[in-house]
Structures are given as C-alpha cells and as structure tokens.
Structure 1
Amino acid sequence: MHELTVTRLINASPETVYRVWTTRTQEWFAPKPYTTPRLEFDLRPGGRSWMEMQAPDGTLHPHEGVFLEVVPNRKIVTTDAFAPGWVPQGPFMVSIFTFEPEGSGTRYTAVVRHWREEDKKTHEEMGFEAGWGQVCDQLAELAERN
C-alpha cells in the first residue's frame, strides 16, 4: 500500500470528536493560515464530499469526491476517484478516518491510501506530515474544548 498516516489521542469522547469532525469541519480542516471557506458534505455512502481550501494569497484549491462509508462516531471513508453519481475522475487517494475509544479519550487516525507510489511521494512533498499533523492538532483542540 502507498499509505500515509497521522494519529492523535484526543481527550474527548468518540462522539464529540466525530461531531466536531462533521459539523465544525471548516474550523479545523485546513492547516493555518489556509482556510476552508466553502464545504459541502452529504454524509452517506455515495454522498458528495466537496471543499475549497484557500491559500493566504487567495488561491483556491478545490477537492471533490464521494463518501464510501460512514459509520457515525466510528469511521468515515472518502475518495476522490469518483464525483457524485459514481462518475469516474482522476484518482489520487482514499482517506479513512477512524474514531476509536481509548481510555477516557479517542484514538483519531487518518489513513490516506494512494493508487501509485508517485502519488504518495507527491503528497509527502506537499507537506503531508506537517499539514495533516497540524490539522489533527486543530481538530483535537476544538474537540477537547467541547
């Protein structure tokens, strides 16, 4: 597998982390100083996953895909291999987000699987570890305050 992973132990219940993930996404999804000004989620298998991240210079980075699996409070799987209606598009990754109880908190894990080694390397060069790590920290901060 051409896989990249980040994980955090978050001092909040899986239900709280999931709720923040799904309802306050625009507040944590982009590594600061990037923002997520527009977002549309239809949280069901086949539902649309669409967002725009905005760079500090105003450049927009759209990302569209579909949800493959949604298990409330436990797991969300998305891919950019399809647009809504199962329309194929150039795939880059499948993302698997899990919310597992651990002690009094949640083990949050984001796994990103790429079709090709070159895509994985590109994602690493884009700053996957730092960017997705920062995003995990932002999610944790919001969840731990709620």
Structure 2
Amino acid sequence: MSGAEFELSVSCHIDAPREIAWKVWTDLKDQWFCPKPWRAEVIEEDLRPSGRSAVRMFGPDGEDTGPMEGIILEVVPGERVVSTDSYAAGWVPQTPFMTHLWSFADEGEGTRFTATARHWDAEGMKRHEKMGFHPGWDQMAAQFKELCETSAATA
C-alpha cells in the first residue's frame, strides 16, 4: 500500500529562498500555523529525531484545543521535517491520527513548500477532510507564503 493512499496535501510556490522559508517555519510557527482568527502557541518544537512537538490553538470565541502533542521522526534542515501524533514525548503511545510531512524544495528563484498529512486509514483521512482540512490547511499555507515573502522583502 502506498503512503499516499490516505494522504491530504497542500502545496504552494513561495517567492523567497528556501533558507528564508525554513527560518520562518522553524522560528515563526506561532504566526502562520493555524488559520486566522485562530492563533497558535508553540509549547515546544525540539527539531531532532524523538524531539517533542507541542502546539496549542486558541479560537476567537475562547476555544482551546489543549496541547496537540507529537514527536519528530526526521529532520533534514532546510529540506524536510516529519512528525507524528501517534506518540507523545518519551514514546508514550497516543491514539494516532496522522503523520505530518513538511517539505521545502528549490523551484526557480523561490521555494516549493508542501505540507502533507498521512493518515492511517481512509476513515481518518475522511474525518480530517470533514474537519476542514481544506480550507484550513490552504489558509495556513497562504499565511506561511505571505510571511516568507514579507521576510524575504525585508531581508
């Protein structure tokens, strides 16, 4: 079975060098990670294999997702980050929902950014679609693109 069978993805071209896109991804996640008017709070982002990744999102009407926690599986600086929510820090099992793949590739003068959610099964993927994968992740990617391009213009 292909990993792409239960995959949802967004991709965009960013008019900024890959180094800037990587820096925005690693240093400014709280500014682009969830669709506005929601806001994200990065609790921890330990970018190394087995490192903790924890983010909390807050809605405009007082909504609070609580910590959404996972672990980092792979980091190739400037190119790719892979994480999963199937474990919390310390390899504590959680009910798995997805594996995240974030990739950055040179494309012309800019960067091709792709954010992918791989689900364990069709049911999980369909549930994510119904939760609003699109337009939520589309808006997240647009916010990321804008922040990267603004950062490049002021660099």
* TM-score of Structure 1 vs Structure 2, range by shorter chain: over 0.9
In structure 1, C-alpha distance between the alignment counterparts of 2:106 and 2:133, rounded to whole Å: 25
Q: Please list, as runs of the form range in 1=range in 2, the aligned pairs for 1:72-83 lying within 5 A after superposition.
A: 72-83=77-88
What are the superposed Cα offsets for residues 110-140 of structure 1, whole Å, 9 maximum, x if unpaired? 1110001111011001110100000001011
Identity of aligned residues (%): 49
Cα-Cα RMSD: 0.8
Shift of 1:37: 3.0
CA contact (8 A) 1:26 1:39 kept: no
Higher strand share: 1
Distance between the aligned counterparts of 1:8 and 1:51, measured in 2?
Answer: 23
Q: Does 1:29 align with 2:33?
A: yes
User: Which one has a larger percent helix, Structure 1 or Structure 2?
Assistant: 2
Q: Which residue of 50, 54, 57 corresponds with 2:58?
A: 54
d(CA) in 2 for partners of 1:38 and 1:25? 7
Task: For 1:60 and 1:73, locate their aligned partners in 2 and report how far apart those are by CA, in whole Å.
Answer: 31
Give ranges in structure 1 of 5+ residues lacking alignment.
Answer: none
1:126 aligns with 2:136: no
Partner of 1:44: 48
TM (normalized to structure 2)?
0.92
Q: List gaps (5 residues or longer) in structure 2.
A: none
Count of matched residue positions in the alignment of Structure 1 and Structure 2? 146
Task: Tell me the TM-score normalised to structure 1 length.
Answer: 0.97
Equivalent residues of 2:29, 2:42 under 8 A apart:
no
> Where do residues 5-20 of structure 1 align in structure 2 (5 Å cutoff)?
5-20=9-24
Shift of 1:38: 4.1
The CA distance in 2 between the partners of 1:140 and 1:78, in whole Å, is 21
* SS at structure 2 position matched to 1:37: strand
Deviation at 1:42, TM superposition (A): 0.5
Report SS of the residue matched to 1:9: strand
- How far apart are residue 48 of structure 1 and its match? 0.3
Contact 1:26 1:36 in 2 (8 A): yes
| CA distance, structure 2, for counterparts of residue 115 and residue 98 of structure 1 | 20
Q: 1:108 and 1:20 mapped to 2: Cα distance?
A: 12
